Chains A and B, each alone.
Chain A
């Protein structure tokens, strides 16, 4: 059998490792140089480099986790600057406050991220959040015990998420349209059922869920950290998580590789709905009231948090940690703005600029790595 040993191992090493020879390699020399790769020495040498290289590569599964490093830098800079600029920023009181402000928002952002990873988008999170919170409040006022009411709120969110997922996978609607419809529907339902009235008189035990602390740490922060941690684990360590990235990268390829694309896609909308429902119940608990208009505009903020945290709206790029970081950055900027008494309108401009800068840098990086 004719053996086809090609000269490629040698060329790769010459191109990659050796700086370009001045004046370029002489043409005539390449001919004899290629010949020796039939020699056993040449072969073993290349085999060594090949076997050595993967060992270095095995450990770093954190390729995806690397994408939010830019966000972390921005966060650290913002925190550092605020610490210097304001005496109040690094006080326990303010940090607890900040945590409460950011937590719900972070939970929504993490849910949004999972959808964005599949190259989808969930515009309905804000409305679903409002509906879940108001419904829970209504059931509580009607005398339902806290635990079932809480679960019903989360359940409503999950159910609406599943509907979103089915609209996308079965009815083949574009995610933007499907969830845009749900945005209107959910908001409409909550306004109808509550008659646009704020629902008050929630039991104090329920209000304690979001406003209480454990060992001085706000409950909301704990929930947000747990949600982020679980989602980080799911995305980076489970088969389901890998399938999410695969679907976001190329759904047809994923399907032909045996990935249950429909199930995965439906699941991510269910997760987003679930987290939106959770956020809604927690918001009702924190405010001590069911507000029908709660969560208006949250969807855009959640998307912004994901993008600032390194997610790509084209799918398959981003991480739970990144989304949480993005949410935290926006929270810190808002908080700092309040402390320094900066006009909130300027803050909006700042956050808008931040989104552009974050995505711009990402594009620049992609282009540079493509060129290199």
Chain B
């Protein structure tokens, strides 16, 4: 594998790698966080960094950005060795980073945030006009043409903030490399798509990118090269078209996964939870829902459609003005979390840090906190039995922790979620509600959580799952309720497709989806003033090809590649030269993926400097995931790159040929 990587470095000479890490190791005390990892970033390429939580991705990024000193190995930027990197020197050398946790100052304006630390000023007094004009330029660059530089960051939706963050990075004097650390975690699918477009545009400008994400399909959408870390070491690296989703997961976790989602041969028993006529505030639509014992009910909808609010209301944590809640046939007034908890309802919130964990308390204390009352006698803490029960639960959930006495804040996201799950299981609930259960959780822990959720349903609990991640929603749920603007837009069976959900969630009116305009104040450059042209179909038809093709690419790229190509070819309009032509309505459902690729290609290829992905696969019969192959144009660089970058499996046989056969 390492030999391959060296070969890759040699091959990269065609498009001079801008950053080269070689044999980098880093240890924290006894824990070897990185061992002998190599990474090459080439201009005009998106290198996806994959790996489970704890695989060393963050450490690698921190070494790259100068936040951490490496123990050994070499680091070169533009061929010059970097001996003692600091964040400032690395940034000055052109390596920028967009972090997962937004680094904007919420109370300051957009403009001030963009130039914080180097505000244009004369003798200490801020030059406001200059600040504004520079900010304007930076915002235009990322398409936020409508956003005023004076807007206070606090008031912006998450997606816009993320774009502002990118604008901030682009204002640096030298931008050669951008590191994206899970930029889409806080975004909805539509917002993510827009972000990915921007990344592709940056790629076409010849910027090298390192992209870290938990969403595999994003890698296939925008990646050129993938580097997989496992347990701090380099697992595999290679062009993304050698991989499909299963293969990538295999590389990440070290073994193959037949299916992430539990089988759904459940039948719903008597209703465990029934909600009738719930109104969250005066004038809001009423909501009815029920979930049977042993059933998994999925709640779908766009961000802001009121899913989380609904869960909080049912749980008694948010006020309601009307409605009845019944748990196992007994009427309960959702007056507070405590009442609902005693009635047998549990809620795992979306934001674990803010609404779930007690960070200073130990793992065990976090688990028992909700059950202290029921287990206590005369106000004393419950005895050994409850602690042991908690431990048993944690053991059965396979919590990865040194000791259950350690503070819960020391755990990774997936394990924190397990702690919260154990907390609610200890209360012996009849209904469990999960709000985005796998947000920010790595693939391995995801699979475990899905299994647990399936098992719980099999044990007769009523389960409600809210998820923005459609494959997850469809994979888990027996029945799906789709919310739109705070009301139930419709119900779908578990066998529904992603486009069914999206159509219900967005109301089928592609061009006038309210959510987009509500959440992203500034439409992209060029599209803002153009109303949908007369030729554009007003509803339904416009949205249909979108989800079809994007979901095809998203769910299983390996299989979907022909269909993805077909659908993009069968679109009513030809692939536009830019991301969005006036002909394509600004809807979250436009088929961004397939159009983005061909669009990116012509601009990228003529320049011999930028080694775009070679269009013809080096091994002819490998599946080409999510990539419509315009193999008619063999790029001059391709042959050189083929020699330079043999597929990871060529020598070591790491690509099991069996799998390819299955795919075909």
Contacts and interface: CB of A to CB of B under 8 A. Distances in A.
Chains A and B belong together in one complex: yes
Interface of A: 1-2, 4, 6-9, 11-12, 14-16, 19-21, 23-25, 27-28, 30-31, 34-35, 38, 50-51, 53-54, 56-58, 60, 63, 237-243, 245-246, 248-250, 252-260, 312, 315-317, 370-372
A242 B371 CA distance: 12
Contact of A253 (B1, B338, B358, B381): B358
A213 B434 CA distance: 60
A20 B56 CA distance: 15
Contacts of B338: 258-260
10 contacts: A6-B398, A8-B444, A20-B35, A24-B233, A34-B253, A57-B391, A239-B382, A248-B360, A253-B354, A256-B349
Given A4-B257, A58-B387, A253-B357, A27 B234 contact: yes
Contacts of B259: 2
A363 to B, nearest CB: 15
A7 B253 contact: yes
Contacts of A312: 360
Nearest to B348: A256
A315 B358 CA distance: 11
Given A27-B1, A27-B234, A238-B379, A54 B391 contact: yes
Given A4-B447, A238-B380, A317-B360, A371 B28 contact: yes
Task: Tell me the interface secondary structure of chain B in the complex.
Answer: mixed
B337 A257 contact: yes
A27 B234 CA distance: 6
A20 B362 CA distance: 28
A25 B233 contact: yes
Contacts of A316: 358, 360-361
A30 B255 contact: no
Contacts of A255: 317, 337
A370 to B, nearest CB: 8
Contacts of B448: 4, 6
B79 to A, nearest CB: 25
Given A4-B451, A24-B35, A25-B231, 15 more contacts: A2-B262, A11-B231, A19-B30, A20-B32, A35-B254, A57-B404, A238-B376, A239-B381, A239-B382, A246-B369, A252-B354, A253-B358, A256-B317, A257-B369, A372-B28
A254 B349 CA distance: 12
Contacts of A11: 231
B341 interface: yes
Give 8 nearest A-B pairs by CB, closest first: A24-B35, A34-B254, A316-B360, A249-B358, A20-B32, A258-B338, A258-B341, A257-B370
Contacts of A250: 354, 357-359
Given A6-B448, A31-B654, A34-B254, A239 B404 contact: no
Given A50-B395, A238-B381, A6 B444 contact: yes
B129 to A, nearest CB: 38
A239 B28 contact: no
A221 B405 CA distance: 34
Interface string B371-409: 011001001111010011001000100101011110000
A241 B365 CA distance: 12
A151 B317 CA distance: 39
A248 B185 CA distance: 28
B1 A28 contact: yes
A12 B27 CA distance: 15
Contacts of B381: 237-239, 241-242
Contacts of B444: 6, 8
B255 A35 contact: yes
Contacts of B29: 371-372
A239 B358 contact: no
Contacts of A260: 338
B615 interface: no
B2 A6 contact: no
Contact of A245 (B32, B233, B360, B398): B360
B359 A15 contact: no
Nearest to B30: A19
A23 to B, nearest CB: 7
Contacts of A15: 31-32, 231
Nearest to B338: A258
Contacts of A6: 253, 398, 444, 447-448
B519 interface: no
Nearest to B263: A1
Contacts of B260: 4
Contact of A256 (B342, B347, B400): B347
Nearest to A7: B254
A343 B28 CA distance: 47
A101 to B, nearest CB: 33
A31 B252 CA distance: 10
Contacts of A30: 230-231, 233, 235, 254
Contact of B404 (A31, A54, A253, A258): A54
Contacts of A249: 358-361
Nearest to A252: B355
Interface string B82-95: 00000000000000
A256 B315 contact: yes
A301 to B, nearest CB: 25
B32 A24 contact: yes
Contacts of A19: 30
B356 interface: yes
A4 B381 CA distance: 36
Contact of B361 (A54, A239, A246, A256): A246
B662 interface: no
B311 to A, nearest CB: 11
B493 to A, nearest CB: 21
Contact of B235 (A16, A27, A53, A57): A27
A246 B365 CA distance: 9
A63 B1 contact: no
Interface in B7-44: 25, 27-32, 35-36
Contacts of B380: 237-239
A24 B36 contact: yes
Given A27-B234, A57-B405, A58-B388, A258 B356 contact: no
A14 B32 CA distance: 10
Nearest to A371: B28
Nearest to B349: A256
Nearest to A234: B379
A20 B30 contact: yes
A7 B250 CA distance: 12
A254 B369 contact: yes
A58 B386 CA distance: 11
A56 B402 CA distance: 11
Contacts of A246: 358, 361, 365, 369
A312 B36 CA distance: 40
B474 to A, nearest CB: 17
Contacts of A2: 257-259, 262-263
B360 A63 contact: no
Contacts of B391: 54, 57-58
B405 A256 contact: no
A372 B361 CA distance: 18
Interface in B36-81: 36
B155 to A, nearest CB: 22
Contacts of A56: 403
A46 to B, nearest CB: 9
Interface string B224-262: 000000111111000000000000000001110111101
B652 interface: yes
B403 A239 contact: no
A51 B317 CA distance: 37
A339 to B, nearest CB: 39
A149 B153 CA distance: 57
A215 to B, nearest CB: 31
B421 to A, nearest CB: 13
Given A9-B398, A30-B233, A25 B35 contact: yes
A316 B357 CA distance: 13
Nearest to A47: B395
